[in-house]
Amino acid sequence: MGIIHVLDERVANQIAAGEVIERPLSAVKELVENAIDAEATTISVEIEGGGVDLIRVSDDGRGILKEDLPLAIRRHATSKIESFNDVYKLSTFGFRGEALASIAAISRVKITSGTNPQEAATALETEPNGSQKIGMAPPRKGTVVEVRDLYFNVPARKKFVKSAGHEAALIHDFICKMAMGCPDICFTFANNGEVQFTSNNLSTTKDVMAKVYPDCEPQAMIAFHHDDFYQKMAVEGWFCPIHVTRKTRAQMVYFVNNRLIESSELDRIVDEAVYTLIPKGRFPVCVLRLTLPAFNIDVNVHPSKKLIKFKNLDEWKEALVSLIKEELWLTKLDETITLANKPTVVELDEKPMPVRQTLDFKEEAPSPAATSLENMMKARVMASSQAESVAEPTVAYAPAPQTLPPMATKMPDVVQVASEPEEMTPEKDATLTKENLLNLEYIGQLNDTFILAQDRKNLYIIDQHTMHERILYERFMEEARENVIKTQPLLHPELLTLTPMQEDTLIKNIMTFAQMGFVFEKKGPLAYAITALPAVLSKEKNLAGLVHDFLDELEDNYHQGGVAKLTEEAIILASCKAAVKAHYKLGEDEVKNYLLPALCRLENAHTCPHGRPIIMSISMNELYSYFKRGHFNE
Ligand code: ADP
Ligand code: MG
């Protein structure tokens, strides 16, 4: 007897569900797309337990006829296409007819739907064993799909689902993005009974973005719309002002023919357009929407339909880069013009911090430890769910040192080059030895930017900013190693609005932040106040932005984060901000009595923490040979 047999439909559906319903978000996405396909204008999504316990999507769309209802949950049953070629002229999200069947194969589903507000609606309940109950329901136009106990019969899949908080955050993020892309539809999202987002009364993409990104300065947002970009293709874009950036690509949002997609091709196009406008390693916050003839894309690339293939990308990608670039540069130019008209603003921005402040190590005295500890307790209460598994925070409150503390580590004979980014690592200079640096004699300042110094055999040119940056960095790192990181309470707590994902990351890492010296207090849904911060960051102006970056980074490197890495990043940033800038006149005293002696004590006098060079030397030998003076004799 043969051993090949056709799989039972239930088993086939469970297998398909593995691809289509990867996580609770996938089910939400399918249900929301069905509602949009049914031309709903109001869509509400409620979840419990991260979507595993319950997902309920309600819409006011055209509804499902009573006789169609049992079919809707059959595999390959769809009202959207007839033949394969229809896939290439799609105007709907769905076409595979497998979403409801897949969901129903791995959960308990109830669909209530009506097509006429004056007539009774129909309710269909399914059990994953295939049994169905159908009955009457109160009149309504539209559909409610309830999904309970997702994955209850596929425990292997359930293991891949992360915490409820994480799954809820993903769903929240998705709903916000859909609301940006479909501003005509009113979306509402409720998590465990709490409404966390609604696009009610927001009628444009810009309005929704302004709500989703509280830091986006809607009045400065760059928006453009080109109807005839390339062969019947329309391009619309909304970019937050270019100084609003993120550490990850998570807020580069693309819609192609209304479909929210992920696209490494569009990533590259936007990357190229913002190149040099936005610092390396940072990403813009934007929505880009392309509308093109359906036959120019293939959406049938992956069951989840979140990837698509562009048929003729090579023909227009360069032009799209130029178009976005022009829009962004135009605005940037405008900005410069306005700034130039207001010299005070320019001056404020570019004026370096006075040397008194930047070179003085005195910091405002930390307030009594008791207050900070009280704040710490608040942080700890918030983190109570993880507190057991995390070591006690070891924040120490040491009085601020008045002078540069000696480096604990032994100064090597030849100063070492740190392992910094390849392209930025300067040639190792053999003249930079401990003895040489000890005997530097100050000559003067060049262009208020470089310090000139000499010893008997060499001329040294030192970048005052990178040198000071390195001095501060090593000092702060030393404090961190000795666990005497100082926390500084904020007189005026800084308010912070987080995305759900950032909040989830914050709660998971609250002890890490506490160890760094941060204290947060919850103020409301997604709202926190920073009540204390690491003293090294006390001069940071955009504290909220910095915390956002830390959180995005932690989320990105889910398992790698850790207090050491974050602390170092905070320190690099603080050193850069606090260090004396270029084009700043230094007093002879400051160079002779503070900067040069501190330079000799550095562990690495070659590069600043970003990898930029600090010092170069020209030997007398080189000078003699250049000027054809024969051999240099001391
Ligand atoms: P697809 O969307 O690929 O057609 P689905 O399994 O998602 O497949 O849905 C099957 C069918 O059920 C759809 O083609 C549609 O006719 C109907 N349907 C599903 N959800 C809704 C809804 N919210 N409103 C109206 N009809 C719906
Ligand atoms: Mg569908």
What DSSP letter does each residue of 177-197 carry, written as one string? Answer: HHHHH-TTSEEEEEETTEEEE
The verdict on pTM exceeding 0.95 is no
How far is the centre of ligand 1, averaged over its atoms, from the C-alpha of 110 (Å)? Answer: 14
Say if residue 407's pLDDT is above 60: no
Q: Which ligand is nearest to the Cα of residue 82, counting in written order?
A: 1
Confidence of residue 365 (pLDDT cuts 50, 70, 90): very low
* pLDDT reported for residue 414: 33
Residues 6+ apart with CB under 8 A from 21: 27, 30, 99, 102, 103, 106, 150
Here the tokens at position 601 are 């004590």
Average pLDDT (584-606) is 87
Say if residue 52's pLDDT is above 50: yes
Ligand 1 contact via 175 beta carbon (within 6 Å): no
- In angstroms, the CA 514 to CA 465 distance is 30
Burial class (CB in 10 A: 0-12, 13-18, 19+), 411: middle
Ligand 1 contact via 303 beta carbon (within 6 Å): no
- In angstroms, the CA 237 to CA 289 distance is 6
**Contact predicate 488/531, CB 8 Å:** no
The residue that leads in pLDDT, 340 or 33, is: 33
Ligand 1 contact via 59 beta carbon (within 6 Å): yes
Checking DSSP bridges between strand 140-148 and strand 42-48, what pairing results, if any? unpaired
**Contact predicate 148/141, CB 8 Å:** no
Say if residue 467's pLDDT is above 60: yes
Residues 6+ apart with CB under 8 A from 262: 254, 306, 307
Average pLDDT (220-228) is 91
Say if residue 344's pLDDT is above 80: no
Ligand 1 contact via 64 beta carbon (within 6 Å): yes
Ligand 1 contact via 100 beta carbon (within 6 Å): yes
In whole numbers, what is the pLDDT of the chain averaged over residues?
Answer: 78
* pLDDT reported for residue 449: 94
Ligand 1 contact via 94 beta carbon (within 6 Å): yes
Confidence of residue 610 (pLDDT cuts 50, 70, 90): confident
Residues 383-404 pLDDT 10s: 333 333 333 332 333 333 323 2
How far is the centre of ligand 2, averaged over its atoms, from the C-alpha of 40 (Å)? Answer: 14
Residues 6+ apart with CB under 8 A from 235: 224, 225, 226, 229, 288, 289, 290, 320, 323
- In angstroms, the CA 358 to CA 580 distance is 6
The residue that leads in pLDDT, 54 or 458, is: 54
Residues of the chain with pLDDT > 90, as a percent, come to 38
Pocket test for ligand 1, best of 37, 55, 69, 115 (most atoms within 8 A of CB): 37
Classify each residue of 535-559 as buried b or exposed e, where b means 16 or more C-beta atoms within 10 Å of its C-beta.
bbbbebeebbbbbbbbbbbbbeeee
DSSP state of 485: P
Confidence of residue 331 (pLDDT cuts 50, 70, 90): low
Average pLDDT (436-444) is 87
Helix or strand run (H / E) with residue 116? strand 108-116
Ligand 1 contact via 21 beta carbon (within 6 Å): no
How far is the centre of ligand 1, averaged over its atoms, from the C-alpha of 146 (Å)? Answer: 14
The residue that leads in pLDDT, 250 or 402, is: 250
- In angstroms, the CA 279 to CA 447 distance is 26
3-state secondary structure string, 514-537?
HHHCCEEEEEECCEEEEEEEEHHH
Confidence of residue 569 (pLDDT cuts 50, 70, 90): confident
Number of H helices, E strands in the chain: 22, 24
Ligand 1 contact via 96 beta carbon (within 6 Å): yes
How far is the centre of ligand 2, averaged over its atoms, from the C-alpha of 97 (Å)? Answer: 6
Q: Would you call 106 helix, strand, or coil by DSSP?
A: coil
Q: To 10 degrees, what angle do helices 164-181 and 24-37 make? A: 30
Query: What is the atom index within ligand 1 of the atom nearest the CA of 77?
Result: 10
Average pLDDT (410-431) is 38
Say if residue 320's pLDDT is above 90: yes
- Among candidates 468, 435, 459, 411, which has minimal Cα distance to 595? 468
* pLDDT reported for residue 298: 84
- In angstroms, the CA 238 to CA 170 distance is 22
Here the tokens at position 42 are 């109001």
How far is the centre of ligand 2, averaged over its atoms, from the C-alpha of 43 (Å)? Answer: 15
Q: Tell me the C-alpha to C-alpha distance, in Å, between residue 624 and each of 286, 441, 620, 633.
A: 57, 20, 6, 10
The residue that leads in pLDDT, 622 or 556, is: 622
Say if residue 136's pLDDT is above 90: yes
Pocket test for ligand 1, best of 39, 100, 145 (most atoms within 8 A of CB): 100
* pLDDT reported for residue 362: 32
Query: What is the atom index within ligand 1 of the atom nearest the CA of 35?
Result: 23
Q: In this structure, how many other beta carbons lie within 10 angstroms of the beta carbon of residue 304? A: 16
Say if residue 77's pLDDT is above 80: no
Residues 6+ apart with CB under 8 A from 353: 539, 578, 580, 581
Here the tokens at position 482 are 């000795």
The residue that leads in pLDDT, 325 or 422, is: 325
Residue 121 pairs in a beta bridge with: 137
- In angstroms, the CA 247 to CA 556 distance is 9
Confidence of residue 353 (pLDDT cuts 50, 70, 90): very low
Highest mean pLDDT among 73-82, 96-105, 188-197, 526-535: 188-197
Say if residue 615's pLDDT is above 80: yes
Confidence of residue 536 (pLDDT cuts 50, 70, 90): confident
By the CB criterion, residues less than 5 angstroms from ion ligand 2 are 34, 94, 99
Query: What is the atom index within ligand 1 of the atom nearest the CA of 93?
Result: 2
The residue that leads in pLDDT, 399 or 108, is: 108
Residues 6+ apart with CB under 8 A from 368: none
Average pLDDT (315-336) is 76
Confidence of residue 343 (pLDDT cuts 50, 70, 90): very low
Residues 6+ apart with CB under 8 A from 338: none
Least confident of 386-395, 435-444, 501-510, 584-593: 386-395
Helix or strand run (H / E) with residue 578? helix 563-578
How far is the centre of ligand 1, averaged over its atoms, from the C-alpha of 233 (Å)? Answer: 28
* pLDDT reported for residue 537: 79
How far is the centre of ligand 1, averaged over its atoms, from the C-alpha of 624 (Å)? Answer: 84
How far is the centre of ligand 2, averaged over its atoms, from the C-alpha of 321 (Å)? Answer: 33
Confidence of residue 560 (pLDDT cuts 50, 70, 90): low
Ligand 1 contact via 36 beta carbon (within 6 Å): no
Is the CA virtual torsion 297, 300, 301, 307 positive or negative?
Answer: positive
- Residue 43 CA neighbour count, 13 Å, CB half: 30
How far is the centre of ligand 1, averaged over its atoms, from the C-alpha of 385 (Å)? Answer: 40
Least confident of 92-101, 183-192, 249-258, 469-478: 92-101
**Contact predicate 426/606, CB 8 Å:** yes
- In angstroms, the CA 300 to CA 86 distance is 11
Ligand 1 contact via 29 beta carbon (within 6 Å): no
The residue contributing the CA closest to ligand 1 atom 12 is 72
Residues 6+ apart with CB under 8 A from 195: 188, 189
How far is the centre of ligand 1, averaged over its atoms, from the C-alpha of 34 (Å)? Answer: 5
How far is the centre of ligand 1, averaged over its atoms, from the C-alpha of 288 (Å)? Answer: 27
* pLDDT reported for residue 291: 93
**Contact predicate 517/487, CB 8 Å:** yes
How far is the centre of ligand 1, averaged over its atoms, from the C-alpha of 137 (Å)? Answer: 19
Average pLDDT (441-453) is 95
- In angstroms, the CA 284 to CA 571 distance is 24
The residue contributing the CA closest to ligand 1 atom 7 is 99
Average pLDDT (27-37) is 95
* pLDDT reported for residue 385: 33
Q: Which ligand is nearest to the Cα of residue 78, counting in written order?
A: 1
The residue that leads in pLDDT, 196 or 423, is: 196
Least confident of 137-141, 206-210, 403-407: 403-407
- In angstroms, the CA 328 to CA 323 distance is 9
Ligand 1 contact via 58 beta carbon (within 6 Å): no
* pLDDT reported for residue 81: 67
Q: Any alpha helices (H) in 146-231, and if so which ranges?
A: 155-158, 164-181, 205-212
- In angstroms, the CA 625 to CA 619 distance is 10
